[in-house]
Structure 1
């Protein structure tokens, strides 16, 4: 709930503080943020609606990360900051991951990004516009919140509830809840400038940020935070097996690296590195005003914008070929006749510009390479150019090309509310609010082509835009009921209405158009990312009501219960509950346990988005279509699955059961928490297993008694089925080169088990103050059921179970003495693997971060530091990842693969 400062004249009557605290609580600090050590006494505002609950006194485990802890860090992105502060939080670099490059998916407790609920000042945050169709298995298909839009300088603290909380907060809160609490000081400010780079000399980072607190009369405040920065890309690529030979022979790859600084050459034609981020601007405003002793209003919101770009896979004319671009049918290397023999080679894909059967015939059966060679046959260009009506991509891109993909992301939100106390019946606290937010991404893809347009294809495309819009109304109430127990009964209840809309706006026509060569085997649309050929808008709404009770039965025993009913316009209703308890054996030992049920509903985007992208399968590029569940193509695929598996796919909510058991205790001067958990998720919402499009079309033809033409291309088969009335050709625009289709469905079941251990020790050292923190997480996810309908394959199971390390943790030492302060942190990442990418059994990694700060004056501090001080890298990739893609290190490495990074910061307080 809302976090309003009690400073600068903001004061309520004592009864107001007590009752409004049932809805929300204001964090309090015993030391200054600059010098504060680690403590478990932070007041939290999630997991309980009872006043003044500390993190160590709640029935569910909660991590509290203060703004001071974020200050002592070399990372800029809030997700990277959380990765070093919350052991079970993971996020990776995500190069060549389509939309996931723009908004990186993050995982809490090994679950999907949209299974974690995100709040700002206790209010639900809107989702991002990005659906991570390619998210490395664990995050595939997730539509989570764009946490990167939040500037770290705006944060007073971050609270991480490590427990299921759907009964308290609604959909998505299966893995837990992250609440970002904004600064609320009515005075003072901070300006910080930062520069950093990698040891390798690339990836320069620049950031300027500031925070300013202003009084709003005598009874309010306005707190403003802003940040602007840019990040240059990094390159950790190695040459492809064929690009060196291509360059030496005069076939230089078209890489479009004009905006990339260093690390690339004709031999290195693949983007493997951190994304380029331009014009990264973030603004947050938080404000509150007392209208009377019993009433106050609040307003907070943000605006953010950034442009993110990275690369796609290199499309080479030989060796690693992309169908629909260079390569035609397989032929005998000597005769040029069609052949399926082991020694057959790909032929040059040649198109007839004036149409098949019109004028002279174009050459066919020309081997793409000389027999046994890896370079284009020198006679190819002459043979194709001999007729102006004949075209091959090898004429315009003889050395291959590497598309560059990205998007401009824009984020906007505003929350307004009024809260206070109605003085009747002992006093009823209330909080009424409205939140409106949107996130929009305008995509671009450059240095590619629409093969079906032939020589007229542009090289730059705007494939379209996606937008997520949400409006949320909340009414929250709290009341204290005298009980005769050790405390009054805290009763909280309320209602919520949410409406979300997902829009997908049409791209430029060239990005999706079927050109004159579409029926001749050439791919349709911008290669790598097919443009949206139509605009769609899909909405859904949800209404909810909840009640929550909490009381101290005795001085030792606290019990909590919650019940929430939620009804979705598209997916029906659900009733979820929570039962929790805390028992105090002594001042030094408590035991806590919870049992919760939870749910996660499909988003409007997951149910309605349409996408065709180029991806890798068995060391080859292929086009995959992701379709709305109710689209004609998905319905046709569902018919096929029903005929094959005996059941039809469905799309509805996923359900979860969570159990936690934990203890908080002191051993001498140290403080510890240990929490074990089990999360069972049934019918997980995910992309379906791939469905061979050729099999679907063959099924459709057989059902309609249509005999397909042998050897026909996919586009020709679609034309034939459309002519026979089996399907509407317009529903399959851009499917001419599609090999596989997928859609969102309730797919598989998982069980996640783990344990969190956190220890703190504060002590005096060398006439200064020191603090040690040890935090570790063990997390293991097992796929307990692959699904009876279109089950997921072994590769997806491996990604869900093994892509994230089972062990992760950190140990940090902070010290403050006079004008000096230091940080030393060891980050541990356990073993992991991804056999699909040929990187099995990756070793564990230990990365060391260090930072030293010196106060030049009371206002000015100079800071220098390094992330990954010892310049460690993950194990190198193996197999086709290196041979075909020039990948030196695995891109999903949880520890990153940029090596060491240094930085310096200048901080001015006023």
Structure 2
């Protein structure tokens, strides 16, 4: 195994400054050595209207392209009520969905986002046209749709650093490689050679919680006559929110006299974000026929969220092991027969705490119960310290009629998990200081090199390229307390940090994979009216072999105002080294013995014994057809898409290792089978078909004595599971795959400008959706139960602002002005204290008001 170098030994902002200065020095020193050559006649188009996605030739406007593209400019993206880029995209791209993830393990730290109803890792993320590295989080709990995915952490970029965001809503694996099944999102960074901006943002929910403070700064410097260096920094903190009601079981414990029962016992809301630091640099130096460029980011943040409440009268492995009838009491020496203490009477009612506590106080000194430590139960807190670093450097220029571009990219994302206010029950009273555990870490590291060449002929543009990528995924072992099998284990006390056991040394490790690719892209403007383009791409991966993909696109302009466009392509998503090699072993006391239940790599000998095979790529077929109407102030596009994805990856059901199987495995030299009781693994299993329609329209007018823009967008999306293996994915997960996102979503915006003042009003529409509350894995319940259907909803956002000639500006606004929330959860108190369905596509925090004050110079 390789050993990763730690890149975050210093404070991350300090690292950012050093990276920026080092990169600047490299650019300047290289520039000084570069030879000057004749000037290029090419003129750069402005990023406000031009997109480079979907074509290797000259950039096109959204209405001129052969595939559907959204272009979101800097002002539209930055002037939002939420400072998180994910939330900004949610209300600007109708087929883009992201929700608050309150209690879903690591998904709470890096929220999964879905484009066109597909998982996060089915959307390729680019920065300045270069592939972005993945996050270290594998989303095991992703509300069905995102389960098992490993996407990119988009939130590491401050919106102030972005010049525009381009969203290609079409399959593009033949052009860009793995992951581009649902589409491609390109984050274009600002290129300032002078001036800058500083601002402060503050806001909170109508409920008086979730107060958010953010400070941004940006400055640009010239690098020679045509170069630039743009630096952006951001600091943010956000308080947690709570939309909870008291759980019935916690209320019952409090009524029985149990002291220190928290109210609410369980928190449903946004986690606390502390010390969120982001630094982005973008550099460029241009000679007469050569250009050097570099860009990158350094970021870190701490996220702290809640877990499920541990009831003092029932929690298995901590307080009781017989459903709450008697208290779990252990002998510290193992030599004492401890008294039995009843928690409920013959009728099943809780015995008053005064009675129970008297018996606890009378226990022999050798007898231990957690009722002595947490008298009212406890709610673990779970979080992570996230660190992210990415840098791309390159050189491009012209050789005769050929344009060439060579670049290298490094990316690293690491999360160190922590838990506190919890226990390793098997350790008894010997818990770590502050009840703080370090369960381990996940780390993703990527290296990439690209070489691309293009040449424009008469009405034809040719592009060729090659790419090499190396990916590494590392699991870091947890501290001793988070993985310990303590002395009380054989008396029924659970092991590991309760709620998220640490990664043990057997699970820890590092796995890597190399791949390379070549592609060819040909685009021809056959006539002034007819454009046709094709692309082919071949990729080879060292772990599962090769794949070839192609794409064909076309556009025909009937008039200057009306055109049709379409695309047909194949695509793929390569399983990540993390998905192919992740191990998670949970140890429990089963049938009088210590046994492991494991999620093992499909290449593991035990998994292979039960039919596991090495993972292969998810494969897709993509078809789209659209209409474009562009008549001066009016722009209208309508696009239909059809995406078929085969061999999607899912976790299998658990297989029980029988004694006969265990003997056979041990005889074959698989000694790990001696302690494992059950095993599951990732497998290519089910197929889906996703269909949808995107409608986008806008018009510029002179209404109300100023400039007024009206914009509307609508998405209809439908996913159907075509094939699956019963027992590997459940009927409940199929329901979530098909219905957990709204089938319809849209917005209507009016943006009015008059001199120094502007006003924006946005109506957001969300169709009905389905929630399997708490992942109950239940589809139908006759008389009550957990699954929830939520009706459609409309929310309203308002923002207004003034900007003066001095550069000073102020903006105030509110998201969800009328404080719209989902209907009350009918089983909130009875189950887990959630006041609302927690996976609402428009959130459940209610209204949020904010103000932004700044100066642009």
Whether the TM-score (by the shorter chain) exceeds 0.5 is: yes
Deviation at 1:147, TM superposition (A): 0.2
Deviation at 1:284, TM superposition (A): 0.5
SS of match in other structure, 1:148? helix
Call closer, same or farther: CA 1:730–1:305 in 2, change over 3 Å: farther
Aligned residue number for residue 528 of structure 1: 499
Q: Are 2:822 and 1:843 aligned?
A: no
Aligned residue number for residue 725 of structure 2: 787
Call closer, same or farther: CA 1:369–1:446 in 2, change over 3 Å: farther
Aligned residue number for residue 340 of structure 1: none
Q: How does 1:285-434 map to 2 (within 5 A)?
A: 285-290=281-286, 292-318=287-313, 321-329=314-322, 346-355=325-334, 359-364=335-340, 366-367=342-343, 371-374=347-350, 378-383=354-359, 386-423=363-400, 427-434=401-408
Higher mean C-alpha deviation, range 850-859 or range 509-518? 850-859
Aligned residue number for residue 414 of structure 2: 440
Q: How does 1:63-82 map to 2 (within 5 A)?
A: 63-82=70-89
Aligned residue number for residue 429 of structure 2: 455
Q: Are 2:722 and 1:761 aligned?
A: no
Deviation at 1:687, TM superposition (A): 2.6
Aligned residue number for residue 181 of structure 2: 174
Aligned residue number for residue 341 of structure 1: none
Q: Are 2:58 and 1:27 aligned?
A: no
Say if 2:603 and 2:614, in contact at 8 Å, map to a contact too: no
Q: How does 1:693-704 map to 2 (within 5 A)?
A: 696-697=656-657, 699=658, 701-703=659-661
Aligned residue number for residue 639 of structure 1: 609
Aligned residue number for residue 456 of structure 2: 480
Call closer, same or farther: CA 1:657–1:45 in 2, change over 3 Å: same
Say if 1:529 and 1:613, in contact at 8 Å, map to a contact too: no
Aligned residue number for residue 830 of structure 1: 767
The match for 1:809 among 740, 746, 765 is 746
Aligned residue number for residue 517 of structure 2: 544
Call closer, same or farther: CA 1:251–1:432 in 2, change over 3 Å: same
CA deviation profile, 1:652-675 (whole Å, cap 9, x unmatched): 111000000001014685220000
Deviation at 1:506, TM superposition (A): 1.3
Call closer, same or farther: CA 1:731–1:177 in 2, change over 3 Å: farther
Say if 1:328 and 1:350, in contact at 8 Å, map to a contact too: no
Q: 1:835 and 1:151 mapped to 2: Cα distance? A: 33
Q: 1:28 and 1:547 mapped to 2: Cα distance? A: 26
Call closer, same or farther: CA 1:625–1:864 in 2, change over 3 Å: farther
SS of match in other structure, 1:327? coil
Q: 1:404 and 1:205 mapped to 2: Cα distance? A: 21
Q: 2:849 and 2:358 mapped to 1: Cα distance? A: 53
Deviation at 1:131, TM superposition (A): 1.0
Call closer, same or farther: CA 1:88–1:394 in 2, change over 3 Å: same
Say if 1:778 and 1:808, in contact at 8 Å, map to a contact too: yes
Aligned residue number for residue 518 of structure 1: 489
Q: 1:433 and 1:802 mapped to 2: Cα distance? A: 42
Which consecutive unaligned segments of at least 5 residues does structure 1 have?
Answer: 5-9, 30-41, 255-265, 331-344, 615-622, 643-647, 707-720
Deviation at 1:298, TM superposition (A): 0.4
Q: How does 1:597-676 map to 2 (within 5 A)?
A: 597-611=570-584, 626-631=599-604, 635-636=606-607, 639-640=609-610, 642=611, 648-666=612-630, 669-676=633-640
Call closer, same or farther: CA 1:493–1:900 in 2, change over 3 Å: same
Deviation at 1:515, TM superposition (A): 0.5
Deviation at 1:747, TM superposition (A): 1.9
Deviation at 1:454, TM superposition (A): 1.0
Call closer, same or farther: CA 1:49–1:252 in 2, change over 3 Å: farther
Say if 1:232 and 1:275, in contact at 8 Å, map to a contact too: yes
Aligned residue number for residue 557 of structure 2: 584
Higher mean C-alpha deviation, range 811-820 or range 46-55? 46-55
CA deviation profile, 1:721-744 (whole Å, cap 9, x unmatched): 99x999746985xx7xx9x75432
The match for 1:572 among 526, 545, 552 is 545
Alignment size in residue pairs: 802
Q: 1:379 and 1:627 mapped to 2: Cα distance? A: 47
Deviation at 1:791, TM superposition (A): 3.0
SS of match in other structure, 1:766? helix
Q: 1:558 and 1:587 mapped to 2: Cα distance? A: 14
Q: 1:267 and 1:561 mapped to 2: Cα distance? A: 61
Aligned residue number for residue 22 of structure 2: none
The match for 1:797 among 711, 734, 752 is 734
CA deviation profile, 1:762-784 (whole Å, cap 9, x unmatched): 00023310100000100011111
Q: How does 1:223-242 map to 2 (within 5 A)?
A: 223-242=230-249
Q: Are 2:638 and 1:678 aligned?
A: no
The match for 2:839 among 889, 892, 902 is 892
SS of match in other structure, 2:107? helix
RMSD across aligned C-alpha pairs, in angstroms? 2.6
Q: How does 1:2-81 map to 2 (within 5 A)?
A: 16=40, 18=42, 26-29=45-48, 42-81=49-88
Say if 2:257 and 2:353, in contact at 8 Å, map to a contact too: no
Say if 1:237 and 1:270, in contact at 8 Å, map to a contact too: yes
Aligned residue number for residue 443 of structure 2: 467
Q: 2:512 and 2:487 mapped to 1: Cα distance? A: 37
Q: 1:590 and 1:889 mapped to 2: Cα distance? A: 45
Call closer, same or farther: CA 1:793–1:683 in 2, change over 3 Å: same
Say if 2:47 and 2:164, in contact at 8 Å, map to a contact too: no
Aligned residue number for residue 275 of structure 1: 271
Call closer, same or farther: CA 1:252–1:377 in 2, change over 3 Å: closer
CA deviation profile, 1:693-748 (whole Å, cap 9, x unmatched): xx613x2x143579xxxxxxxxxxxxxx99x999746985xx7xx9x754322121
SS of match in other structure, 2:711? strand
Deviation at 1:28, TM superposition (A): 4.4
Which consecutive unaligned segments of at least 5 residues does structure 2 have?
Answer: 1-26, 28-33, 588-595, 775-785
SS of match in other structure, 1:127? coil
Deviation at 1:563, TM superposition (A): 0.2
Q: How does 1:130-279 map to 2 (within 5 A)?
A: 130-253=137-260, 266-279=262-275
Q: 2:719 and 2:41 mapped to 1: Cα distance? A: 43
Q: 1:746 and 1:866 mapped to 2: Cα distance? A: 44
SS of match in other structure, 2:428? helix
Q: 1:232 and 1:479 mapped to 2: Cα distance? A: 53
Say if 1:246 and 1:375, in contact at 8 Å, map to a contact too: no
Deviation at 1:375, TM superposition (A): 5.0
Q: 1:153 and 1:624 mapped to 2: Cα distance? A: 46
Say if 1:245 and 1:375, in contact at 8 Å, map to a contact too: no
Say if 2:341 and 2:356, in contact at 8 Å, map to a contact too: no
Report runs of 4+ in structure 1 exceeding 6 Å deviation. 12-15, 724-727
Say if 1:142 and 1:686, in contact at 8 Å, map to a contact too: no
Deviation at 1:325, TM superposition (A): 1.7
Q: 2:530 and 2:365 mapped to 1: Cα distance? A: 87
